[in-house]
Structure 1
Amino acid sequence: MIDKKHVMQTMDWSKYDLPGWLSQCGAWQRSCRNSYRSSNPIAVAMKKAKVRLSKAQRAKLIAYYLCEEEQPKIKRHKMTCDITDNEARAIQRLVLDVINGTDSEALLDWMQVIISRYFNDRSWSQLETPDRTVMDAKYDVRCGLAVLHVRYPFIQYVKGTV
């Protein structure tokens, strides 16, 4: 009988800490953005997540989007991708499992900030919104990292680091 191991079991999780793995997954996504034609599974999952917005919140979001005149700036990334496709997919799977396994709007917000910060490489100031200060974004990232670490304790995480 052949003992097949899942990629999650064969990975060397000590290679990076939790923020490091997330950042590497973001670098992987940026490096293969033009080479793959399929949608990003994280983005698809976030769109499918059941987030309830009131009519006022929806109108505010649409108005904010329509009034936004600043074009996104293309920035050069200093981080190089040092993980394999399988490792990146495993990290995506961890985040997707948390997103798909909850109905909590707070948890979905935390995961959205994690994705923006690490996968989309947003700065702290870019995470600021009319409803969220930079400090709130840092707290949201810490809460999201804590959730991921509690759910997956085999990934190293130094408490208090973002």
Structure 2
Amino acid sequence: MEKLEKFSFIPELIQTNLKAKNSDEVIDSLSKKMEERGAVQEGYADLVKEREIEFPTGLRTPGAVIAMPHAFDKRNHASYVAVGVLEKPVHFRNMEDFEEELPVEVVFLLAIDEKKEQMSMLQVLMKIFQNKELLEGIKSIKTSEEICQKLNAFLQKL
């Protein structure tokens, strides 16, 4: 697998104990962090929410129920991932069964600068999602810096 050199986690894009009533609030909160960082342009959250309607991203994994919402925006100039560890689960529709809602605990909001990078970014993320201990650990860590270190250490091993 080709490594994504540009792809790493940064503490400013990780939010622990995220309080949200629904998936839209989660997407808005994480998109705002990305906007503040200059990772996405204004309006990115709306693009993500529109895409989530057509292509849900909730997924059961061994260590947590996750969601990985994203959208394609030609204005993105780099690939970033914002992570939200939810205080209480929020429902996202299941990517495998659009009728089912899943109680998501961790959200990975993606901003991808080119469609061709989507597959390699998703391959890397799927390795994270398959690692039960890593995801369970992320749910229990209280600081964005620690989560960032744990995720980046895992990426270095790939």
Fold equivalence (TM over 0.5):
no
Q: Which has the larger radius of gyration?
A: 1
State the TM-score bracket (shorter-chain normalisation): 0.3 to 0.5
Name whichever structure is richer in strand by fraction.
2
TM-score calculated relative to the size of structure 1: 0.35
